[in-house]
């Protein structure tokens, strides 16, 4: 049974499932704690997703859930940019990584302008392989930007495809200096 049938069979939308799951993970404020909770979690009710845990120290771990199994990526930097697609997942990820490399070419460092250009990109052409994705049956529906520093965690959310607008709202949560291991989980 695929994840859509499992989600429907328990009467829970995939959006609600992700929120409920994310809320449970927030109880683990270290990268190790999040990884341990995910390792024990039964995810069969949840839609396929990529979960990134960002620690204040700069470390990031990623777990990919394909609807059947978990894949751990302890060094997430080696997988940048993180990509997900239900349409030809491997080819889509490869296309988007090529576009990310093209945008960074020459600069070597990803700045805010580079990242925004990547998220708005329609390369190689407007369609299922582009980062800002548009297909007859689906499209990019929002843009979320997460920033973790030593003193705060910020989240910026803009509804709609980023090629059209990045107008949205933001929230910032200050971190106390004694909270040396704060961790943000993104689904």
Span 43-63, pLDDT tens digits: 888 777 788 777 766 777 888
DSSP string, 52-111: EEEETTS-EEEEEE-SS-EEEES-GGGGPSP---SSSHHHHHHHHHHHHHHHHTTT-S--
115 contacts 132 by C-beta, under 8 angstroms: no
Q: What is the pLDDT of residues 104-126, one digit of tens each?
A: 886 665 678 888 889 999 999 99
Single pTM value for the model: 0.68
């Amino acid at each position: 049974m695929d994840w859509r049938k499992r989600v429907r069979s328990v009467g829970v939308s995939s959006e609600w499932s992700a929120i409920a799951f994310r809320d449970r993970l927030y109880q683990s404020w270290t990268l190790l704690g999040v990884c341990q909770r995910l390792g024990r979690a039964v995810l069969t009710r949840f839609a396929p997703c990529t979960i990134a845990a960002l620690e204040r120290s700069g470390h990031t771990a990623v777990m990919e859930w394909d609807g059947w199994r978990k894949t751990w990526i302890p060094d997430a930097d080696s997988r940048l940019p993180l990509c997900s697609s239900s349409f030809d997942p491997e080819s889509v990820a490869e296309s988007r990584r090529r576009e990310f490399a093209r945008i960074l070419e020459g600069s070597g460092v990803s700045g805010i302008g580079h990242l925004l250009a990547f998220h708005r990109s329609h390369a190689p052409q407007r369609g299922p392989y582009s980062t800002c994705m548009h297909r007859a049956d689906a499209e990019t529906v929002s843009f979320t930007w997460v920033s973790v520093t030593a003193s705060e965690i910020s989240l910026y959310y803009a509804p709609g495809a980023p090629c059209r607008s990045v107008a949205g709202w933001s929230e910032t949560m200050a971190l106390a200096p004694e909270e040396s291991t704060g961790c943000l989980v993104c689904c």
